[in-house]
Amino acid sequence: MRLLFRADASRRIGSGHVMRCLALAEAISAHATEIRFVCRRLDGELQSLIEAKGFACSLLPADRSALDPAEDARMTGALAAGVDWLVVDHYELDERWERALRPSCERLMVIDDLVDRPHDCDILLDQTFGRQPDEYAALTPDGCRMLTGTQYALLRPEFAAGRPAALARRAASEGVRHILVSMGGFDPDNRALDVLETLASTAYAQRLTVTVVSGNQSPDAEASLTALADQFHSLDVRQRVDNMAALMAAADLAIGAGGTTSWERCCMGLPSLICVLADNQRDIARQLAAAGAIRVWASRPELKEQLDQYVSDSALYRSAIDAAAGICDGRGLERVVSVMQSC
């Protein structure tokens, strides 16, 4: 089986599109003879990470301020000829691009979560909590297989593997002592510093163990975080990590951005305080907040108030654990790969 993935990452776009495609690529690699990624040459592209995972990555030029779908289709088509599966995860591409690529591939899969444009595909995957197939009925062709909801969330296998131990730890938890802070794959505005300064202002800061996974590669930004170390029981600041499941399992509460990492936190039964940093995160945050798995903050006073509530109200905290754990079991990759193999 030959597969080609079309997804972009940048400081503006974030890393989520490429990361969920990487999870799928790794899961299906045992059944594939060739896997290639096609990405634009943007500030923050993840070619080195993709290649470190063992996959080829071709970079398309990005000399315009906006993507040109027709030109993108022409260049991608030259690389996609004869592939069994073309998987596209991109908000700027729609049925026009997909229709142009149809002659180059046997089957085409779209990963989306906006429900805002038509698609021409064999499989439509939207892992948003509560998403229903009929929401895409007018946007997809007859016969398109709809994979909707968190049962198809593209989480790496370590999340499902670590889930039982994480939930057992939650059952014995004595409350919020260890906080995991992660503001996404890129944090150009250093929002992690806002979070740490808010944590440091609490009456219980000296009791907290804080782990920060920083998306800001600036040495100055990292120094601003580590400068607060003496405000906490302990502070550990890390750059890109490959053990996020273990970090989530060890934490009692997460503070971070919305987006696809929300399903990872839910799989581990980890209550979260979420800051919406992009428009496409709003629907995810709204649904998870309604389910009681997260709370949403937009300012430091809101964050501090919500922290105080989770720390002081054990019933509220435990209800959030139960709500989060019930949303995603972490086995979405198995289900998606099974569907792809059956097509």
**Residue-by-residue DSSP string for 35-62:** EEEEEE--TT--HHHHHHTT-EEEEEP-
Q: What is the rounded CA–CA span in Å between residue 193 and residue 237?
A: 11
Task: Indicate the SS3 state at residue 40.
Answer: strand
pLDDT in tens, 280-336: 888 889 999 999 999 999 999 999 999 999 999 999 999 999 999 999 999 999 999
For residues 92 and 14, which has the higher predicted lDDT (pLDDT)?
A: 92
Whether pLDDT at 74 is above 70 = yes
Contacts of 319 (CB under 8 A, 6+ apart): 292
**Mean pLDDT over residues 61-65, rounded?**
75
Question: Sorting pLDDT into bands at 50, 70 and 90, what band is 187?
Answer: confident
pLDDT at 214: 84
Closest by CA to 113, choosing from 86, 95, 99, 132, is 132
Please give the radius of gyration of the chain, using alpha carbons only, rounded to the nearest integer: 20
Question: Sorting pLDDT into bands at 50, 70 and 90, what band is 107?
Answer: very high
C-alpha 181 chain-centroid distance: 15
**Mean pLDDT over residues 14-33, rounded?**
95
- Contact, 55 vs 37, CB < 8 A? yes
What distances in angstroms separate CA 212 from CA 167, 177, 179, 259, one per listed residue? 22, 14, 8, 18
- Output DSSP code: residue 179: E
Whether pLDDT at 65 is above 70 = no
How many helices (H) does the chain have, and how many strands (E)?
Answer: 13, 13
Least confident window among 54-63, 201-210, 231-240, 274-283:
274-283
Question: Sorting pLDDT into bands at 50, 70 and 90, what band is 5?
Answer: very high
pLDDT at 220: 82
Residue ranges of E strands in 165-318: 178-182, 209-213, 234-238, 253-257, 272-275, 294-296
- Contact, 4 vs 83, CB < 8 A? yes
At 152, list the tokens: 């198809």
The reply to whether domains 2-155+330-342 and 157-325 share a CATH topology is yes
pLDDT in tens, 28-54: 999 999 999 999 999 999 999 999 999
Question: Sorting pLDDT into bands at 50, 70 and 90, what band is 119?
Answer: very high
Class of domain 157-325 (CATH, top level) = alpha beta
Q: Compute, in degrees rounded to 10, the torsion defined by CA atoms 157, 158, 159, 160.
A: 60
Task: Please give the backbone phi and psi of residue 266, each rounded to the nearest 5 degrees, phi first.
Answer: -65, -45
**Mean pLDDT over residues 103-129, rounded?**
97
- Contact, 213 vs 238, CB < 8 A? yes
Mean pLDDT score of the chain: 94
Burial pattern 7-44, b for ≥16 Cβ within 10 A else e, equals: bbbbbebbbbbbbbbbbbbbbbbeeeeebbbbbbebeb
Which residue in the block uniquely carries the two structure tokens 């163990």?
209
Q: What is the rounded CA–CA span in Å between residue 166 and residue 179?
A: 14
Whether pLDDT at 190 is above 70 = yes
Task: Indicate the SS3 state at residue 215.
Answer: coil
**Mean pLDDT over residues 77-87, rounded?**
97
pLDDT in tens, 209-256: 999 998 766 678 888 999 999 999 999 999 878 899 999 999 999 999
Closest by CA to 83, choosing from 125, 157, 28, is 28
Closest by CA to 314, choosing from 174, 164, 150, 131, is 174
Class of domain 2-155+330-342 (CATH, top level) = alpha beta
The pTM is what?
A: 0.93
Cα distance from N-terminal residue to C-terminal residue, the chain: 12
Pairing between β-strand 2-7 and β-strand 234-238 as defined by DSSP bridges: unpaired
- The full set of domain ranges for the chain reads 2-155+330-342, 157-325
pLDDT above 70 covers a percentage of the chain that reads 98
Which residue in the block uniquely carries the two structure tokens 């569907």?
339
